[in-house]
Chain A
Amino acid sequence: MLIDRNARLRETRNWGDYHLLGIDSPALGLKARPGQFVMIRTAGGPVPLLRRPLSIHDAGPDGIELFFKVAGQGTAILAGKRPGDPLDIVGPLGKGFSIPSAVAGRSVFCVGGGRGIAPLYFLARELAAAGARVTVFYGGRTVSDIPLLGKFEEAGRQVLCSTDDGSRGFAGLVTGLVEREVGRARPDRLYACGPDPMMKALASLARNAGVPAEFSLEAVMGCGFGACWGCVRRIRAEDGVGWTKICEEGPVFPGDRVVWEDRRA
């Protein structure tokens, strides 16, 4: 964990409300692991006051990439940044996905819904480097919600996509597509990030198929490093179920530890 106040925006790409930021920050790039996140200042002043949590889309010796959808005031300000702008980032935070050493030669599914695809690019790249056979599932409401399809394909990933309206790929929820593929050939592991109903359905699917699964959860965060206790979710532990800080103990949890609740949006 560190504060990089000398980070700098290198390049930006956008597809409607979806934005990809390439950021020069060797300090963060070298430390980051798949599934970790950063807290980034958006405004220079007190509005909005808090940093925004964003999962790390990719990382390397030069820096990190962030992928997000504009969801409010903070992300809108971030979307307006230009190459060369300075950035103030705390990270890398949280515990990321686990990549077992025995993953070589194994079949692994990475399932992303909408902006939830963000951490899976870095994860899929690391899994492939570890010798896993990776299939990326990428779902959205419509074709404009899966803008990173080409990026995954260019990186050599096998990608199956779905859209609720059938405008691209499998017509229906991504969970339906995953269910079909699990039926054809059961994977050895599953990782997912996306809307809660998607992850809840995948947790159930993975449990029934006996596939170990990990899920990256989202929550409103105050600090990102365990001090405010604002980002809690129901998580099972040895001593029972309690409100657990997503930032510190997560954001990634094994599927059987998450108590999937019907949360209001």
Chain B
Amino acid sequence: MTDLTTDLGFFQLKNPVLAASGTFGYGLEFEPFLDLGTLGGFVVKGLYYGPREGNPPPRLVEATGGLINAIGLQGIGVEAFSDKVLPKLRSLDTAVIANVCGADDDEYVAVVEFLDGREGIAAYELNISCPNVKKEGLCPALAAASTSSLVKRVKAASRRPIIVKLSPNVTDIAEIARAAEDAGADAVSLVNTFLAMAVDLETRRPKLANVFGGLSGPAIKPIALRMVHQVASRVRVPVIGMGGITTGADALEFLVAGASAVQVGTANFVDPDAAVRILREIEEWCAGHGIARIRDVVGTLRTA
């Protein structure tokens, strides 16, 4: 039996498989399909302070081997989350991570201050990288300076660890990761979706009402893997890797490239029990390769 415990520095996960924000609802949606307690953890859908409407439909369009979404972070807000959802998550033996959003820096701080008053949250994942809420995909994660100032403010306000979720829509993602680390981030997670679009040739209209959306799924895996490796080579804080993971082998490639843990995203839509299957496949691979501890796989890429 491989020891799957994963050390994120600020806390331990029972295994390295998390479900990614925006693809796992508030967790409860998946209870008919899997035992949430088997996961290392899950990141709930992005939380603004108040409820949020999101974008008009069409919000989804398939790409070859992928999915472009422009949901626009529709959600219930911190109060409904804390009152209606969180009490049901507290009894679970898994790490519940709250994904924190904001229209401006003040709102990120307000969300964290509100949630700090509630129990049952292991950490915050700062969503500074959603491409679907401002024109042309603007978000704080596109520049080191805006990343740094926001992370500093939230870190100062929070009693919990901060994971900063990075955008791949930048020239040098490692530079942004360094800015987050220097500003006090306890970990970084990457990648969020790639800014993308789709055109209906017959009508010559964009297929998404929002015109642009974020591409996820197997189509982005090789680029996500490259970025995870670049970031892991440049920061000391743990890296949580994601982007198109659909199998245990995919997840292990991210660990080898330097991620301490992984998040499973779009695969949850296709197979609602995907995260559990991926965990089982990781275990099987480790058993077949005589791996004593999963952490011994992390960052073992041979480049020489």
Query: What is the interface of chain A, defined by CB distance below 8 A to chain B?
Result: 1-3, 41, 46-51, 90, 219-223, 225-233, 242-243, 264
Q: What are the nearest 10 A-B pairs in CB distance?
A: A230-B60, A223-B269, A227-B25, A1-B32, A46-B65, A46-B218, A227-B29, A226-B29, A222-B269, A230-B59
Interface hits, B239-271 → A, CB 8 Å: 246, 266, 268-271
A37 to chain B, nearest CB (A): 15
Query: Which chain B residue shows the least CB distance to A51?
Result: B270
**Distance, CA A181 to CA B27, complexed state (A):** 48
Query: Which chain B residue shows the least CB distance to A242?
Result: B53
> Do residues B64 and A90 form an inter-chain contact, with CB atoms below 8 A?
no
**Distance, CA A51 to CA B54, complexed state (A):** 23
User: Contacts of B61 on A, CB cut-off 8 Å?
Assistant: 220
What are 17 contact pairs spanning A and B, CB under 8 A?
Answer: A3-B33, A3-B272, A41-B270, A48-B62, A49-B218, A50-B269, A222-B67, A222-B269, A225-B272, A227-B24, A227-B30, A227-B268, A228-B23, A230-B57, A230-B69, A231-B59, A232-B54
Pick the residue among A50, A220, A242 that contacts B270 (CB under 8 A): A50
CB of B77 closer than 8 Å to a CB of A: no
With known contacts A46-B218, A219-B57, A230–B65 Cβ distance under 8 A: no
B93 to chain A, nearest CB (A): 21
**Distance, CA A48 to CA B266, complexed state (A):** 13
With known contacts A1-B33, A222-B67, A227–B269 Cβ distance under 8 A: yes
Query: What is the interface of chain B, defined by CB distance below 8 A to chain A?
Result: 22-25, 29-30, 32-33, 45, 53-54, 56-62, 64-67, 69, 71, 74, 203, 205, 217-219, 246, 266, 268-273
User: Contacts of A227 on B, CB cut-off 8 Å?
Assistant: 23-25, 29-30, 268-269, 272
With known contacts A3-B33, A49-B266, A228–B69 Cβ distance under 8 A: yes
With known contacts A49-B65, A49-B270, A223-B272, A232–B59 Cβ distance under 8 A: yes
**Distance, CA A26 to CA B29, complexed state (A):** 24
* Max chain A C-beta neighbours (<10 A), residue from B57, B217, B273: B57
User: Contacts of A46 on B, CB cut-off 8 Å?
Assistant: 65-66, 217-219, 246
Please count the residue pairs between chain A and chain B whose beta carbons lie under 8 angstroms apart in the complex. Answer: 94
**Distance, CA A47 to CA B218, complexed state (A):** 10
Query: Which chain B residue shows the least CB distance to A5?
Result: B271
Query: Which chain A residue shows the least CB distance to B54?
Result: A243
Interface SS of B by simple majority: loop
User: Contacts of B25 on A, CB cut-off 8 Å?
Assistant: 226-227
* Max chain B C-beta neighbours (<10 A), residue from A2, A48, A230: A230
> Do residues B53 and A243 form an inter-chain contact, with CB atoms below 8 A?
yes
> Do residues B32 and A2 form an inter-chain contact, with CB atoms below 8 A?
yes
User: Contacts of A2 on B, CB cut-off 8 Å?
Assistant: 32-33
**Distance, CA A246 to CA B255, complexed state (A):** 37
**Distance, CA A222 to CA B265, complexed state (A):** 12
User: Contacts of A47 on B, CB cut-off 8 Å?
Assistant: 64-65
**Distance, CA A16 to CA B121, complexed state (A):** 54
> Do residues A229 and B54 form an inter-chain contact, with CB atoms below 8 A?
yes
**Distance, CA A219 to CA B59, complexed state (A):** 10
> Do residues A232 and B74 form an inter-chain contact, with CB atoms below 8 A?
yes
A233 to chain B, nearest CB (A): 7
**Distance, CA A222 to CA B217, complexed state (A):** 12
B255 to chain A, nearest CB (A): 21
B189 to chain A, nearest CB (A): 19
> Do residues B67 and A50 form an inter-chain contact, with CB atoms below 8 A?
yes
User: Contacts of B30 on A, CB cut-off 8 Å?
Assistant: 227
User: Contacts of A220 on B, CB cut-off 8 Å?
Assistant: 57-61
**Distance, CA A232 to CA B66, complexed state (A):** 20
User: Contacts of A230 on B, CB cut-off 8 Å?
Assistant: 57, 59-60, 69, 71
Query: Which chain A residue shows the least CB distance to B67?
Result: A49
> Do residues A3 and B271 form an inter-chain contact, with CB atoms below 8 A?
yes
B302 to chain A, nearest CB (A): 28
> Do residues A3 and B65 form an inter-chain contact, with CB atoms below 8 A?
no
> Do residues B273 and A3 form an inter-chain contact, with CB atoms below 8 A?
yes
Pick the residue among A1, A221, A229, A233 that contacts B71 (CB under 8 A): A229
User: Contacts of A1 on B, CB cut-off 8 Å?
Assistant: 32-33
User: Contacts of B67 on A, CB cut-off 8 Å?
Assistant: 49-50, 222
**Distance, CA A230 to CA B74, complexed state (A):** 10
> Do residues B32 and A243 form an inter-chain contact, with CB atoms below 8 A?
no
> Do residues B62 and A49 form an inter-chain contact, with CB atoms below 8 A?
yes
